Structure 1
Amino acid sequence: MGHKQMLLATVVAATAALLQGCVSSGSTNESGIMFPDMDSAYLKEGTFVAPDAVLRVSKGQNKDQIRALLDIPQFSEGLFGVREWNYAFNFYTDSVPKGYVTCQYQVHFDDDVLVESTHWKNEMCADLLVPVEAAPVPESTEERVRLSADVLFDFDSDVLRFEGQRSLERVADLLVTDFNDPEVRVLGHTDRIGNDAYNQRLSDKRANAVRQVLIAQGINPLHIQALGMGESNPVVSCAGESGAQLKECLQPNRRVDILINGERQVSAN
């Protein structure tokens, strides 16, 4: 092959790599998803992002919507035909001396360039966004995991968001590892905006959606009850508020309570 032919072949190969997305060295997470090395990031120290922006990432969003939420990817992804975007986000936490941890996050797009899935390099990063903790219920033998419906679901929908799905997977893990065959009640709650019948139906659908995820994660379906509570059991009233202020004030009422009645497993340590 002559010098000009070799040069042309090199240019063609480089152009193809640019169009399809650059392939760089990296490592896989527990699910086998490849993540690029942090050394290849534009911002090697990561960037701080509002947790709510990551929570709002949902299936079917386009690249413009993801860019508006998360900004541009911090790794060299190529120009056209790119099916994944990679980010490095910093989240505040008291668990490390420097006060924050850096988490790699990946968005996958389908053939229509719409969000298909998202992934964390370290799955523990998801717990920084949506902590899952069981706390005793006052004057009861039950314990409760309380999750915001705004985190779990798309607006006015019973379709789970990515981080909502992950949080419920961790709830299922907690039920398996911390309790001996517990009885579980899933209670869906809405705010008072809208009519009673609609809110009741929405809370029913959301409670059942949560139940189905727990069953899919191996929890005995005979031991899980799903109940929609509608707007009947608010934790805040927000008297005198209206419009956007009312919706924000009523946020604590939009929730899913997972009530656990069972004996805690005794640690082997």
Structure 2
Amino acid sequence: MQKKLNFLFAVCNAVLLAGCAGDGTKILDDGTSTDLKWHEAGSVHFDKSKGTFPNLQSLRQIRKGMTKDQLYYLIGRPQYSDGWRPRQWNYLYHFNTPGQGRDDVTTCQYKVLFDKDGFTGEAYWHQVSSEDGVCPPDLEGKTSHELPADTLFKFDRSDFNGITGPAEEQLSRVVKDIQSYRDLENVTIYGYTDRLGSNGYNSVLSQKRAETIKAYLIQHGIPADKISAIGKGPADPKVSCNEVKGAELKDCLRPNRRVEILIKGTR
């Protein structure tokens, strides 16, 4: 009997060390994930399943490398259940966003992952309210949007004809967010590729894609002198995927192929 219990304990430990979270998210040793999953929004265990309006100043202070105690001090206990000694904490947050979201409130899920040593890694946002709220909302006088390049463009394309149907909705959301700023300082568009191919080719492709998004924003009324387009090629990768090859590698590198749009100003 004792041997069977020891075996079960070892299996449980192995699952925990593998980083399989309660919602199915696969967590890597460095506290990142290429396969995010999210709990049903209403399945929070605390705060009467309603979530909370967080302290924005506390959210601004969250950084990589923090302990769970430090994180708990800033934003409190996680609101979703992810089992014993979880490697992620999940929250349901509401933000007052006049003119955006549902009844001027934007609802988001917030996920903080922990690395194999128990320190904070990456944090991720997920939009819950279906209206035009943005997750995360404006926490520091600026808003960022991350759009998958595979959604924006057909493979190896960078022109308007290459923009796919679902991208129109995402870009429309970005335009509405920019227009909500009372005093717009600037909009910076960063284009990124994966590491496949030469650096020179990727640099040109990422610049062309950033320029295409800039042209789209100008076409929809955003002042050209407020927008900068920067191609960064394979810089600042989100995932490395060193252990896979071929078609699996291309799919694994998907998060690196993206366009990031940073909006700064006063609402």
- TM-score range with shorter-chain normalisation? 0.3 to 0.5
Structure-2-length-normalised TM-score: 0.47
Greater C-alpha Rg: 1
